[in-house]
Structure 1
Amino acid sequence: MLLRERETPEGLLVSVCDSDCIGETFTGDGVSLDVTEDFYGGDDAEDADSDAVVDSLNRATVANIVGEEAVTVAIDAGLVDEETVLEVDGTLHAQLLWLR
């Protein structure tokens, strides 16, 4: 999985996706999801295992999560409710927002 963290004035923004999703566009049911290198990859992104992803999501203020592996990690950690996950064109997408 690719993991990227950015500090913003609103808090920590985390983006995580399955590596094979980079550069893909998923569309369906009026939704279009672009998994761009600019947002999910780049020099600041790192290859991450499940533990690193869970740690980052726990510290995030907001997170965007794309791909079966990445979303499943978030669900299994109890950070995302499976019922709120979107399936777009065969891939999974979830957003996470912590109000602190």
Structure 2
Amino acid sequence: MLLRERETPEGLLVSVCDPDCLGETYESGKVSLTVTEDFYGGDEAEDADEDAVVDSLHRATVANLVGEETVRVAIEAGVVDEETVLELEGTLHAQLLWLR
């Protein structure tokens, strides 16, 4: 998985995606999601295993997740409710917001 973290004035922003999703656009009705290199990839993104992703999600203020493996990891870690996951052209997308 590709993991990227950014510190913002509002807290830690985390983006994670399956590598094969990078550069793709997924649509469903009025909803469109483009998995851009600028947001999910770049020099600041790192290849991460499940443990690193879960650790990052627990520290995040907000997170954007794309891809079957990425979203599965978040569901299994208990940080994303499966019922809130969107499916766009067969690809899973979830967002996470911790209110602290």
In structure 1, list runs of 5 or more residues that go unmatched.
Answer: none
Distance across 1 between alignment mates of 2:90 and 2:75:
17
Once structures 1 and 2 are overlaid, which stretch shifts more, 54-63 or 23-32? 23-32
The SS at the match of 1:54 is helix
Say whether residues 1:13 and 2:10 are aligned partners.
Answer: no
CA deviations 1:25-47 (Å, max 9, x no partner) are 00112110000000000000000
Give the AA of the match of 1:6: R
The CA distance in 2 between the partners of 1:59 and 1:32, in whole Å, is 27
**SS in structure 2 of the partner of residue 56 of structure 1:** helix
RMSD: 0.4
Any idea what SS the aligned residue of 1:43 has? coil
Question: Separation in 1 of the partners of 2:22 and 2:79?
Answer: 23
Q: Unaligned stretches of 5+ in structure 2?
A: none
* Runs of 4+ off more than 6 Å: none
1:24 alignment partner in structure 2: 24
TM-score in terms of structure 2 length:
0.99
Aligned residue in 2 for 1:86: 86
Q: Aligned residue for 1:40?
A: 40
2:12 aligns to what SS in structure 1? strand
Q: Does 1:57 align with 2:57?
A: yes
Question: Structure 1 length normalisation: TM-score?
Answer: 0.99
Matches within 5 A, 1:64-75: 64-75=64-75
One-letter amino acid of the structure 2 residue matched with residue 99 of structure 1: L
Aligned to 1:98: 98
Count how many residue pairs are aligned between Structure 1 and Structure 2. 100
Identity %: 82
